[in-house]
Amino acid sequence: MTLAGKEDADQTIVFVNGLGYDQSAWTEVAKAFQEEYRLVSLDHVGSVTSNFADFRSNRHHYINATGYAKDLVAICSALGVNGKTILVGHSIGAIVAMLASIQSPAQFSRLILVGASPRYLDHEGYSGGFCKSDIDAIYAAVNTDYQSWASVFAAAATGENNAEHAKQFAASLTRIPQDMMLTVLCSILQADHRLSLPKVSLPTLIVQSKQDNFVPLAVAEYLHARIPNSQLNVIDAAGHLPHITAPDILSDAIRRFIESP
């Protein structure tokens, strides 16, 4: 965990990373807020070498996003954050932030969901972007050739014309051991958090890239329709990682939301 920004700031921003990256994913976005806000970034258990053993010894705790959300609430409690704290989460980190806001709404003031999906698997009346055969193919690819899967996944996540970002993301993915990656993928791809959406009580910003190979626009619209007091901002960014590939655009969207009345 890292504390940065203005130490005595009235408001705190907590950044929650998604699959395959550590807290460094937020570096460029965080720079935009370091003069005015206290900043907290953290590494999920299982995302960096120093906590791999904790993940393996408590694997049952991380079989779904609820375990990560409990960790996030505990960390925020230990830091003594107050009701002026803003949660910013990406992908599964967005769902973790959302669940944490439901578990302990008094700790937080606003919620920002970047590239979030409550369910990836298609269902009757719901288009999550993946059918069962797609998900089975992901598991098979990770089992068969982890390095190749990571390269293909990273290229799809970062979008076109982002070869260097794709290379960096693939390296970050493969730092996580294969068996642990399979556990985390199962916790993401087999989850269904749709029933939690109406329970969100905070003002919420849903940020969606114009082109996202993993989260269709229909999913962002589904979130917006079911999360009370939410706004949807489709930003001019390609890929599932706008905090990496378009940090200035994402930072502007966040600032407009958190500084609005």
- DSSP sequence for the chain: -EEEE-TT-S-EEEEE--TT--GGGGHHHHHTTTTTSEEEE---TTSSGGGHHHHHHTGGGGSSHHHHHHHHHHHHHHHT--TTEEEEEETHHHHHHHHHHHH-GGGEEEEEEES--S--B-BTTB--SB-HHHHHHHHHHHHH-HHHHHHHHHHHHH-TT-HHHHHHHHHHHHTS-HHHHHHHHHHHHT---GGGGGG--S-EEEEEEEE-SSS-HHHHHHHHHHSTTEEEEEEEEESS-HHHH-HHHHHHHHHHHHT--
Is 165 catalytic? The answer is: no
Is 8 catalytic? The answer is: no
Catalytic residue, candidates 44, 165, 224, 240: 240
Catalytic residue, candidates 117, 165, 212, 230: 212
- β-strands 12-16, 85-90 pairing: parallel
Catalytic residue, candidates 91, 117, 196, 251: 91
Is 91 catalytic? The answer is: yes
Distances (CA, A) of 210 to 6, 115, 160, 215, 260: 33, 10, 13, 10, 23
For the record, the structure tokens of 207 come out as 């940020």
The catalytic residues are 91, 212, 240
